[in-house]
Structure 1
């Protein structure tokens, strides 16, 4: 199996850890299913290995159907695609670059940033599972650990505390006021960590988008003031400012600066293991 296919498989099977409240529950389900298939086909170790492969293939095909959604909620894809969309709006370009180009660029930048996490998930969880050295439960826990570390490092404690407080109240507990959130990734539950990570990413993406908008708004204001002072009130300012905004972005090497800054904001934290 090539490294690219291995990383893709690791990302796909990891989804099982995010579906239930904890990764242990997902591993328990797969382990129970594997044991049931083994009991249904007694007789030899080959039957047990075959049943394990059936469970793995079933899990893989099931998770591949929800992989796009997991890509959005558990990786850096959200921040990248939102910032690129805001940049396009700030430039005043409706369909340039097209959505496919922006999504593809965000996707490959996401794989670049998440590669250390995917490698850890592959080496610690999926590869030993394929070699039958660990169980499905252990594989899911090990594959989920690098992703939990990555998300925890990029989640605001305030956001995590919000969801942990709501989760505790929904379970009938009465959390203390100003109770601190989980101190480590192992203490955080998937139920609270995933939505907290998402709103943290949305906040950062909009903050970056605001900073991107400022210089282009300044160009619009300057052009509008010049046109007003020249008496050209019927001429749309956007028509004149658009080429100036584009050439300004090109001259400062905007794509290089933006892509580099976005990826560097993750790289110190991406290698969760």
Structure 2
């Protein structure tokens, strides 16, 4: 049987070793928070909101399953964030692994592409809300905006954008529900649920226009603006 021994020794006093231990602790913290970071500073939030809206609009409560939608959203997030990830790898990760730059410099360079992406999709109004809450002085340049505050404003902007896209998606299916309901009422079939009759037509419409390809393409293009 394998054995394991634990030993207690004096604390590290050399600055280099203390710095290395702090870097390891920071990396472990980042890895533990990786799911939360992915949900907040990437395109995942908008995509998953729109996917749930389209499922509600179609009237199929459990199809596709939530696991399938989440998996598709993750893959789309990887594709959309690939240019940002490549830039972080080229400017921060690889130079740090090759010991050409220090940890703090690598961290600053890694934030730059991500901050650029978030600024592109963050509204100034959402950012000003957090400055009003914290009573901080309004920044004069983008460099003065803390990354944490930018991430919070980015999430709010993504929530509004996702709900806006979901509302626009809902309108055609809502019109189809109203048409079917009016036809059933005119025929005197008041006991027949309109949703049951309209769902096959909504599915047929969604398949005929190649809805998934159209939806995925539109979502990806919305981040290219």
CA distance in 2, matches of 1:119, 1:231: 61
Residues 30-45 of structure 1 mapped to structure 2, 5 A cutoff: 39=14
2:194 is matched with which residue: 227, 233, 237? 237
Q: Under a length normalisation based on structure 1, what TM-score does the superposition of the two structures give?
A: 0.74
1:67 is matched with which residue: 13, 27, 34? 34
2:169 is matched with which residue: 204, 209, 212? 212
1:91 is matched with which residue: 58, 83, 93? 58
CA distance in 2, matches of 1:115, 1:55: 29
1:137 is matched with which residue: 72, 85, 104? 104
Residues 72-221 of structure 1 mapped to structure 2, 5 A cutoff: 72-167=39-134, 169=135, 175=137, 182-184=140-142, 186-221=143-178
Aligned length: 215
Tell me which residue corresponds to 1:58.
Answer: 25
Q: CA deviation at 1:56?
A: 4.3
Tell me which residue corresponds to 1:246.
Answer: 203
> C-alpha offsets along residues 20-65 of structure 1, whole Å, 9 cap, x if unaligned?
xxxxxxxxxxxxxxxx95716xxxxxxx5x7766554433332111
Q: CA deviation at 1:196?
A: 0.7
| Aligned-partner SS, 1:95 | coil
CA distance in 2, matches of 1:38, 1:133: 25
| Aligned-partner SS, 1:191 | helix
Query: Which blocks of at least 5 consecutive residues in structure 2 are unaligned?
Result: 1-10
Query: Which blocks of at least 5 consecutive residues in structure 1 are unaligned?
Result: 1-35, 41-47, 269-273
What is the RMSD of the two structures over their aligned residues, measured on CA atoms? 2.0
CA distance in 1, matches of 2:91, 2:208: 45
CA distance in 2, matches of 1:140, 1:74: 16
Q: CA deviation at 1:256?
A: 1.0
Q: Under a length normalisation based on structure 2, what TM-score does the superposition of the two structures give?
A: 0.89
Tell me which residue corresponds to 2:181.
Answer: 224
CA distance in 2, matches of 1:190, 1:229: 58
Q: CA deviation at 1:166?
A: 2.4
